[in-house]
C-alpha cells in the first residue's frame, strides 16, 4: 500500500501503538517483530482491545479488511512518520549527545512550554522505533516538536535525522558512551556529529556551546549557528555560577537556580536557556521553568532519608558521566561520603581500562566507603578498604550493617545494574 493511502487511514485513528496491552480505542496497531516476539501473532488481540487498523507483514495475519499488509512493518512505520512530519510541518528540534539527552529534552520542553504549545519525546523513546512513534504523536496544533535521538553505533543518528528531518539541532556533549558500538571516542564524536552533518546539508539551524572546543571543531565554518556560552560575543551569554550542590547560572545579569546537582548539568541547563532566548521566551519564564524542574526516573535525584542524603543517579552510566558524578561528590560538603558504583556497559575492549580508571580516581579521592558492584568492577585492582561484589545479591547482606548517619551517598551505574535496589536495603 502507498504511504499516502495508509496516511489517510492513519488520520482517522486516535493514535499509533506497537503494544496490544497498551492500545487505545481506534488506534492503528503496527505489528513489529523482534528477536523474541512477532507482533503479527497478536492482531486478534489488537482488534479486541480497540484497534481500528492493524499494519502487518505476514499474510497469515490478515484476518479482516482492516488489516493492512505491507512488505515490512518497521520500514512502513518510519516512512509514515516522515510523511506525517512533512504533512503537519511542525518545526522540529532534535538533540543527541553522550550524556544528558533526556534531562536536556525535559528542560527545553519546560522552558518552551511556558510560551508555546510543545510536545516532546516521552521518556527515552529515542531509537529507530521511538523516534517514529514520537513524530506520529505530534499534531499541527503544536508550535514545536522536540525529538530526542539516541545511538550506539555510527550511521544511526544519520538514519534518525532523515526520518525526523529536524529544523534545529543541538548535541549535549561528546563522551565515552557506547564505545563498543562506536569503535572508540573518535567514533562517538563522528557518530553524534551526524546530526550536524544532516543540518548542514539542509541549511538548518544548529545551537553551539562555544565553551566546548570539540563542538566548535565539529561544526567547522558553518554559518547557520546560534551560539551560547560565557563569551559576550555569543548570541546568548550564559555563565556558570556554582553547584553546591544545586547548579546555578547567570543569564541577563540574573541568577537562575535549579534542582539539578553537579556542574555537568550546567551544559544541559544552558541549552534550554539558549533555546528559550532564541525562541523569544521571556527571561522570567525561562528562570521559573528551570527552577521548577525536578529530576526523576533515577536521574540525579536527591533523596533525603533522615540525616542521610542520597544522590540516585542509577539510570545509566559511562566513563564520562561516572567521572563527572565522582568529581561532583568530591566537592560537596559532607561528613561521610559513600560510593556505590555499578558496572558500565557497552565499553567493549575498553571495559577493563575504563573501570580501572574509575577505581583509581575513587581511591585517590575518597578514603573509604567505596563499594563496587558488577563483574567488570570485581576484576579491578583495589586497595584493602574498597569492597567488591561480583553480583548485586552479594552486596545485599552488607547494606544493613552500614552506619549511614549524616552520610552523603552516590549510587551510580548502568541501567542493567538496577542499583536503585540499594534504596530498599539502607
Q: What is the mean pLDDT of each run of 10 residues along the chain (426 residues)?
A: 96 97 96 93 97 97 97 98 98 96 96 98 93 98 97 95 98 91 92 97 97 94 96 97 93 96 94 98 98 87 90 92 94 91 95 97 94 97 94 91 88 95 89
For the entire predicted model, the pTM comes to 0.91
Write down the pLDDT at residue 197.
Answer: 97
According to CATH, what is the number of the domain 3-72?
3.40.1390.10
According to CATH, where is 3.40.1190.10 located in the chain?
A: 89-292
According to CATH, where is 3.90.190.20 located in the chain?
A: 301-425
CATH 3.40.50.10860 is the classification of domain 301-425: no
Write down the pLDDT at residue 384.
Answer: 87
Spatial contact of 151 and 177, defined as CB atoms under 8 Å apart: no
Write down the pLDDT at residue 375.
Answer: 97
Instruction: Enumerate the H helices of 371-419 as residue ranges.
Output: 375-378, 392-399
- Cα–Cα distances (Å) from 101 to 174, 182, 356, 363, 366, in that order, read 11, 18, 26, 29, 29
Write down the pLDDT at residue 377.
Answer: 98
Architecture of domain 89-292: 3-Layer(aba) Sandwich (3.40)
Q: What is the DSSP letter of 300?
A: S
Strands 301-305 and 246-251: unpaired
Spatial contact of 191 and 153, defined as CB atoms under 8 Å apart: yes
Nearest Cα to Cα of residue 168 among 245, 70, 271: 271
Spatial contact of 57 and 69, defined as CB atoms under 8 Å apart: yes
CA angle 264-267-269, nearest 5°? 105
According to CATH, where is 3.40.1390.10 located in the chain?
A: 3-72
Sheet with 370-373, edge to edge strand ranges: 301-305, 308-313, 407-412, 336-342, 370-373, 387-389
Question: How many CB atoms are closer than 10 A to CB 31?
Answer: 25
Which three three-digit cell numbers place residue 298?
533515577
Write down the pLDDT at residue 242.
Answer: 93
Write down the pLDDT at residue 149.
Answer: 97
Amino acid at each position: 500500500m502507498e504511504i499516502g493511502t495508509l496516511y489517510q487511514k492513519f488520520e482517522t485513528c486516535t493514535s499509533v501503538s506497537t503494544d496490544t496491552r497498551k492500545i487505545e480505542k481506534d488506534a492503528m496497531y503496527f505489528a513489529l517483530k523482534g528477536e523474541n516476539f512477532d507482533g503479527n501473532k497478536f492482531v486478534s488481540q489488537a482488534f479486541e482491545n480497540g484497534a481500528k487498523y492493524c499494519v502487518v507483514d505476514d499474510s497469515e495475519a490478515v484476518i479482516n479488511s482492516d488489516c493492512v499488509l505491507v512488505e515490512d512493518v518497521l520500514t512502513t512505520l518510519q516512512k509514515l512518520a516522515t510523511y506525517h512530519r512533512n504533512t503537519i510541518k511542525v518545526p522540529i528540534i532534535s538533540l543527541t549527545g553522550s550524556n544528558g539527552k533526556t534531562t536536556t529534552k525535559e528542560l527545553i520542553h519546560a522552558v518552551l512550554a511556558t510560551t508555546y504549545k510543545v510536545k516532546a519525546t516521552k521518556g527515552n523513546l529515542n531509537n529507530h522505533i521511538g523516534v517514529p512513534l514520537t513524530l506520529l504523536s505530534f499534531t499541527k496544533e503544536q508550535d514545536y516538536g522536540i525529538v530526542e535521538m539516541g545511538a550506539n553505533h555510527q550511521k544511526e543518528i544519520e538514519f534518525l535525522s532523515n526520518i525526523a528531518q529536524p529544523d534545529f539541532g543541538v548535541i549535549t556533549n561528546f563522551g565515552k558512551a557506547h564505545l563498543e558500538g562506536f569503535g572508540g571516542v573518535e567514533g562517538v564524536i563522528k557518530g553524534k556529529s551526524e546530526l550536524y552533518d544532516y543540518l548542514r546539508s539542509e541549511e538548518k539551524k544548529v545551537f553551539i556551546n562555544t565553551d566546548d572546543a570539540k563542538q566548535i571543531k565539529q561544526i567547522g565554518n558553518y554559518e547557520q549557528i546560534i551560539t551560547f556560552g560565557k563569551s559576550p560575543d555569543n548570541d546568548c551569554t550564559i555563565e556558570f555560577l556554582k553547584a553546591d550542590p544545586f547548579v546555578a547560572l547567570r543569564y541577563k545579569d540574573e541568577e537562575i537556580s535549579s534542582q539539578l546537582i553537579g556542574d555537568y548539568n550546567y551544559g544541559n541547563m544552558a541549552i534550554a536557556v539558549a533555546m528559550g532566548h532564541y525562541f523569544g521566551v521571556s527571561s522570567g519564564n525561562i528562570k521559573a521553568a528551570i527552577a521548577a524542574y525536578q529530576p526523576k526516573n533515577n536521574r540525579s535525584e536527591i533523596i533525603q532519608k533522615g540525616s542521610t542524603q542520597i544522590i540516585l543517579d542509577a539510570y545509566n552510566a559511562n566513563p564520562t558521566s561516572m567521572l563527572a558524578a565522582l568529581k561532583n561528590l568530591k566537592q560537596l560538603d559532607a561528613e561521610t561520603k559513600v560510593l556505590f558504583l555499578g558496572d558500565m556497559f557497552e565499553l567493549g575492549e575498553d571495559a577493563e581500562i575504563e573501570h580501572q580508571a574509575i577505581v583509581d580516581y575513587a581511591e585517590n579521592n575518597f578514603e573509604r566507603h567505596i563499594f563496587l558492584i558488577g563483574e567488570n568492577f570485581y576484576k579491578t585492582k583495589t586497595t584493602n578498604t574498597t569492597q567488591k561484589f561480583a553480583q548485586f545479591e552479594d552486596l545485599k547482606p552488607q547494606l544493613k550493617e552500614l552506619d549511614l548517619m549524616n552520610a552523603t551517598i552516590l549510587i551510580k551505574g548502568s541501567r542493567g545494574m538496577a542499583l536503585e535496589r540499594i534504596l530498599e536495603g539502607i
